[in-house]
Amino acid sequence: MPDTFSEYYVNRGRMASFLDGLEEIPESSTLSVYIPPGLSMQEINDITESTEVPALPAEVVRAVTGSGTGAVIFRSSRRNCLVMPPFPVKEKVVFSGYATEPLRSLLARDFTVGLVLVHLGTYAVGVCQGEKLVSSKVGTGLVHGRTRKGGSSQQRFQRRRENQSRQFLERVCGHAMEHIRPYEDTLDYLLYGGPRQTVLRLRKECPFLKSFEDRTLPVMDVPALRRKVLESAVSRVWSSRVIEWQEEEEK
């Protein structure tokens, strides 16, 4: 029988209550599995096959393998939850019962996170300590949109647009250095947001940002940048993605 799924996000403030609710469920045969990022689908299946609980649904396994921060699985016959936290799970551990303390400890730390959010034409950079934005800059730049004209006029337009894009990304790089460098030694993570191709180009063309490759979080989708988008991104940095499912019994 198919499983019933629900998916949502839980912010930092509500996660404690969410975990409290799990621990209140009377259940003797429960399991908590902490999975760091980078494990294969087979490795994840091997973890659950070594226990006495049913295998994970394929959709859940795919979500875990696709998570850049790993996941925590709370498994029982009454309630099943997959939590993908905003920051990486460090160790592969299996616990009996609802073992929420490692996840609570991860989310309790006030990490220092640099944010570099960019669309061609708009950008926002900043640093947050915990959920407090301590440094930021939001701005715009001239980058013409694409044209459908053909011939030499289109080629000239494309060259002009390419120059504008390069100059714009150079400016974004400069602002990133201005606001992130003072926190360079204490920065825990760097988070990018925006269209992936634009982010990849910025990362390629900004040498300063390459020093954070070992502590970069998965790219966040964000709309065109304004101050409220930057402030919203800080909240999203601390939100965990949750998938719950209920396995239907065979009749």
- The CATH code of the domain that includes 71 is 3.30.960.10
Sheet with strand 132-140: strands edge to edge: 132-140, 122-129, 112-119, 189-193
The model's pLDDT over 183-202, given as tens digits with 9 standing for 90+, comes to: 999 999 999 999 999 999 99
The model's pLDDT over 137-169, given as tens digits with 9 standing for 90+, comes to: 998 875 555 545 555 566 666 777 678 888 899
Sort 131 into a burial class: Cβ within 10 Å, 0-12 / 13-18 / 19+. Answer: middle
User: Do residues 54 and 127 both lie within one domain?
Assistant: no
User: Do residues 179 and 164 both lie within one domain?
Assistant: yes
User: Do residues 122 and 219 both lie within one domain?
Assistant: yes
In this structure, what CATH number is given to the domain that contains residue 154? Answer: 3.30.420.60
User: Do residues 118 and 214 both lie within one domain?
Assistant: yes
Which of 169, 223, 233, 171 minimizes the C-alpha distance to 195? 223
- pLDDT score of 222: 81
Of the three residues 85, 108, 131, the one that is the final residue of a domain is 108
The model's pLDDT over 20-74, given as tens digits with 9 standing for 90+, comes to: 988 887 766 788 999 999 988 888 878 767 666 667 888 888 999 999 999 999 9
- Over range 103-112, report the average pLDDT: 96
Domain presence at residue 204: yes
pLDDT(236) > 90: no
Domain presence at residue 173: yes
- pLDDT score of 183: 96
pLDDT(1) > 70: no
User: Do residues 135 and 41 both lie within one domain?
Assistant: no
Domain presence at residue 251: no
| Cα–Cα distance measured from residue 22 to residue 75, given in angstroms and rounded to the nearest whole number | 10
Domain presence at residue 242: no
The mean of the pLDDT values for the chain is 86
State the total domains in the chain.
Answer: 2
| Cα–Cα distance measured from residue 86 to residue 71, given in angstroms and rounded to the nearest whole number | 10
- pLDDT score of 24: 81
User: Do residues 230 and 150 both lie within one domain?
Assistant: yes
- Phi/psi-derived region of residue 38, left when phi > 0, alpha when psi is between -120 and 50, beta in every other case: left
User: Do residues 160 and 146 both lie within one domain?
Assistant: yes
Q: Which residues pair with 133 in a beta bridge?
A: 128
Angle at 62 between CA 57 and CA 67, to 5 degrees: 130
Of the three residues 80, 108, 136, the one that is the final residue of a domain is 108
Domain that holds residue 22: 4-108
**pTM of the entire predicted model:** 0.84
Domain presence at residue 250: no
